[in-house]
Structure 1
Amino acid sequence: MHSWTDTLRFAFQPVVNLATGGVAALEILARPESGDVLAQARRDPELDGRLAVLAVRAAARQETLLPLHVNVFAGTLADLGGLTPLHDAVREAGRLPWEVTLDVVPPYTHVPQPALLEALAALRGQGFRIGADGVGEGDVPLRLLVDIAPDLVKLDASLLTRPAAVRAMRTLCDESGALLAVEGVETELQCAAALSAGAQLAQGVLFAPPARLPAADVYVPPRVPGVVSATRSGPSVREFVRPAALLPATASAGQVRALLTGSPDVSGVLLVDRTGVPVRSVHRSRFLLSMSGRYGHALYADRPAARLGDPPRTVGVDATAWEVLDVVAVGDRDRTSDDVAVVDGHGRCVGVVRLADLVRALAETQVEEAAGLNPLTRLPGSDVITGEVDRRLAAGRTVALSWLDIDHFKQVNDGAGFAEGDELIRSVGRALGYAASGSTRVGHIGGDDFLVLAEPECLDPLVAAVLDAPWSAGGRPVTLSLATVLCRPGSVSDHRQAAACLAPLKKAAKSLPGTSWVLGYAGLPGHEIRRGSPPMAATRTDAVAAEPGVG
């Protein structure tokens, strides 16, 4: 007599670390060849528990040493409690409980929550990790999700079309110490969206489809240089340029060897064409290792050195240090110590930068920025924002600089107390941070004042997310005032002039009753009222028509 286990097989799908591109774990998926065992398991806790045991045993037969993810219905856990057979199967397989994550699968409707939480506490006490699966498409209540306190939250890829929700979930995960994963990723755009929204792990057919054998390799889309770095400022690569050791593209290996042995400080040689454009990069250690091998000199000395080189890694002279790191991150890991060629607008080499110099400088920058964070909101102060304003103005970009504060904040503190006032400031800061997208930068310049630097096309969604929200402190409604100045190329020279143009707009916004937003252009008179109404006795200032794509 045949059993349902005779036609049951298991497939393995990798869970990918988006930062390293490596496989972080394997999820084990039941694949019955006939019948709907999973639908039965949803109704039969004993069957579902048996499936979890068989999944662990299937992984043991594959001799995989990767951490495992095993699916269990929430109703099963509430009904069976600690799943003692699963614990025994893990021990028999030679694995440790903390190498196994139990992905708790919906539905949660009609599942007794106290019993579920009690079972999860018992499993966590045994060492198992807990994952909340199907968040976004499932029916897990938010309060229950918080009570579960999972080690991992798995979002459905459909939520990537709502990046604000993913970012909010990442914040929740950060607060609880959980990791955030996105499952069902099928396209490179979804992968990029997951990264941008803050997901740390992902799985889906893009990386590797479920297979009978655990995948040895997975596909992870390369990060496009400039896309990630567009959200980060940093020191210019010009600050780290070193002289480059250059030889013609036709140079022999013997010529390169002579240069390297005569110049111990040179870490590599760039072979350039007649116009100075790098065509090959020769790394010192790899090259000398090839030359010093048996017959190495005889084989290569008189031959073109280009045969022992690699394609050069290049960045533009206007790149930031973060962009260089993006370039280094793409490709073979054994090339992370290679010099990166810095090229001008014609592709000609003007020098090289070394990874060690960049890492050291960026680490110092991060320490300095951390020291400058406002202790109340953990947002940077005005120096970070104004420095970025100057960089964008120097690059000829249109700058949208906004100032925001809380109306009558002293009355808020006097009426509701300073603790409520502090919490209101923190809440406004969080809202600005959540609403920020792309290259938007948010700063807290003290008290209830914030600075926001954004691309003009990002203004409307950011403003709507913050100004349209109901604000209160101590049960009393609170309004906000926002002023924005658009600085087109050539209208101002630095952040000081931008701030001077912003000052009258701040005054105009504060003069309007209720929540308000006024927008003006640097160098042009007047302003436009985007939120709020002027007092009855006041005459509206001549409005400046909004440019296409702004507002």
Structure 2
Amino acid sequence: MALSPCRLEEHMTATCTDPWVGKFHLITADAGLERMLKGLWPISQAEWQTFREGRKSMETLLLEPPELFLIDNRIPDISGIELARLVKGENVYRQIPVVLLLPRTEACGEFDFHELEIDDFLVLPCEAELARLRIMLALQRGKRSFDANPLTRLPGNTSIIRRIQRGIECGEEFAVGYVDLDFFKSFNDRYGFSRGDEVLMMTSRLLVNSVRGAPAKQSFLGHVGGDDFVFITPCTYAEATCRSIVSSFDAIIPSFYDEKDRLAGGIRSKDRSGNERDYPIMTVSIGVTHNLGGRLKHYGQASAAASGLKTLAKQNGKSGYVVDRRAYP
């Protein structure tokens, strides 16, 4: 029996999986523009968050980062260009694409694209189909260049290697810290992957806040994978960053355990050989090396040194860090 157009549409919705497009943050006070952009894809394919003010959007960036920003240059509290600079100034999220929405009168102005860190722009008013294609182009271009961890959205291994190697080649003096969660596997086995992912998300936010204490342009945070993270700061900020990570992690992590396990000081879970054993509350270990005086020659040297120091940090049985103090200030 043939389906009517309405029934056919319902049938397709029920049986087909729409391809996911992305999660967008739209910053505009223009209701008409908002309606046009939100209508580019069905609600099953795209998630939108709209902000009327630029500073409000920055407040949610840490907790709910998007896959792409669309910033109207006419927002009331701050220019779109300045907001784009703020987004790109957040080292952790600078790789998220930014599309600037410019009125035609402003699009004729002079822009220094060496200084203005945007990934594309749309001239308003704009036809919906052109907007859809340009947004998709910016989104896909960003995905190709951004090896973000799918859970935390932090830069992944390729970005970590490039950032460390670039610092070495430029003769930059920096500290690099390798961060690892102790007893994370036993927690995962005991509570399941969903609870484990919550711990990793908490850890990523905690690290972002700790690294923020150092100058943004000289700092970096990446997620190698699993429970392994890497941060870069100027040498003089490294220990303060480590102290912040350790104290914050120790204060927060007990809340992720059930009350019974929290009171017992740990959990009972299977080891890698399948044997039951007791594990304490998770701790965090950090190893820090540095590139003072150009002592690092390549990424592998930095990775090996910091990883070895991290192993030393694990030996005391509680959260802590070990810093390579050779020629350290």
Sort the TM-score into its range (normalised by shorter chain).
Answer: 0.5 to 0.7
1:385 lines up with 2:164 in the alignment: no
1-structure distance, mates of 2:58, 2:316:
33
131, 139, 144: which is aligned to 1:368? 144
The Cα offsets for residues 464-510 of structure 1, whole Å up to 9 and x where unpaired, read as: 44321221332344211111111113201111111122232111111
- Give 2:114's aligned residue: 324
Over 3 Å counting, the alpha-carbon distance change for 1:170 and 1:363 in structure 2 is closer
Residue pair 2:288, 2:309 contacting (<8 A) in 1 also: yes
Structure 1 position 450, deviation (Å): 1.0
1:456 lines up with 2:235 in the alignment: yes
Aligned residues: 229
1-structure distance, mates of 2:118, 2:192:
51
307, 315, 322: which is aligned to 1:503? 307
1:405 lines up with 2:188 in the alignment: no
Structure 1 position 368, deviation (Å): 2.4
Residue pair 1:431, 1:466 contacting (<8 A) in 2 also: yes
Over 3 Å counting, the alpha-carbon distance change for 1:418 and 1:362 in structure 2 is closer
Over 3 Å counting, the alpha-carbon distance change for 1:498 and 1:233 in structure 2 is farther
- Give 1:108's aligned residue: none
Residue pair 1:374, 1:446 contacting (<8 A) in 2 also: yes
Partner SS for 2:305: helix
Partner SS for 1:376: coil
Partner SS for 2:114: helix
AA paired with 2:144? E
Structure 1 position 373, deviation (Å): 2.5
Residue pair 2:181, 2:282 contacting (<8 A) in 1 also: yes
- Give 2:202's aligned residue: 427
The 5-angstrom pairing of residues 271-420 of structure 1 reads: 324=114, 326=116, 366-370=142-146, 372-420=147-195
After TM superposition, the score normalised by the length of structure 1 is: 0.34
- Give 1:482's aligned residue: 286
Residue pair 1:153, 1:173 contacting (<8 A) in 2 also: no
2-structure distance, mates of 1:403, 1:415:
25
Residue pair 1:233, 1:388 contacting (<8 A) in 2 also: no
Over 3 Å counting, the alpha-carbon distance change for 1:168 and 1:464 in structure 2 is farther
The Cα offsets for residues 310-361 of structure 1, whole Å up to 9 and x where unpaired, read as: x9x99xxxxxxxx7252899xxx9xxxxxxxxxxxxxxxxxxxxxxxxxxx9
Structure 1 position 451, deviation (Å): 1.3
Structure 1 position 382, deviation (Å): 1.6
Partner SS for 1:398: coil
1-structure distance, mates of 2:236, 2:57:
21
Residue pair 1:482, 1:516 contacting (<8 A) in 2 also: yes
The Cα offsets for residues 358-416 of structure 1, whole Å up to 9 and x where unpaired, read as: xxx9977622244x322232222222111111111111101211111111222222333
Over 3 Å counting, the alpha-carbon distance change for 1:519 and 1:201 in structure 2 is farther
- Give 1:494's aligned residue: 298
Over 3 Å counting, the alpha-carbon distance change for 1:171 and 1:426 in structure 2 is closer
AA paired with 2:114? V
Partner SS for 1:489: helix
Partner SS for 1:397: coil
2-structure distance, mates of 1:415, 1:501:
32
Residue pair 2:62, 2:205 contacting (<8 A) in 1 also: no
Gaps of 5+ in 1: 1-18, 26-65, 68-95, 100-149, 158-164, 181-199, 208-218, 235-285, 287-310, 315-322, 334-360, 525-543
- Give 1:441's aligned residue: 220
Larger RCO (CA under 8 A, 6+ residues apart):
2
Over 3 Å counting, the alpha-carbon distance change for 1:425 and 1:328 in structure 2 is closer
Structure 1 position 168, deviation (Å): 4.8
- Give 2:319's aligned residue: 515
RMSD: 4.8
After TM superposition, the score normalised by the length of structure 2 is: 0.53
2-structure distance, mates of 1:474, 1:393:
41
Residue pair 1:179, 1:201 contacting (<8 A) in 2 also: no
Over 3 Å counting, the alpha-carbon distance change for 1:397 and 1:230 in structure 2 is farther
2-structure distance, mates of 1:362, 1:154:
23
Partner SS for 2:185: helix
AA paired with 1:367? K
Residue pair 2:63, 2:205 contacting (<8 A) in 1 also: no
2-structure distance, mates of 1:441, 1:413:
27
Identity of aligned residues (%): 21
Residue pair 2:310, 2:321 contacting (<8 A) in 1 also: no
Partner SS for 2:324: strand
Structure with higher Rg: it is 1
246, 249, 254: which is aligned to 1:467? 246
AA paired with 2:283? T
Residue pair 1:373, 1:381 contacting (<8 A) in 2 also: yes
2-structure distance, mates of 1:230, 1:429:
14
Gaps of 5+ in 2: 1-25, 36-48, 96-107, 124-136, 263-280
Partner SS for 1:326: coil
AA paired with 1:442? L
Residue pair 2:313, 2:321 contacting (<8 A) in 1 also: yes
Residue pair 1:398, 1:487 contacting (<8 A) in 2 also: yes
Residue pair 1:152, 1:179 contacting (<8 A) in 2 also: no
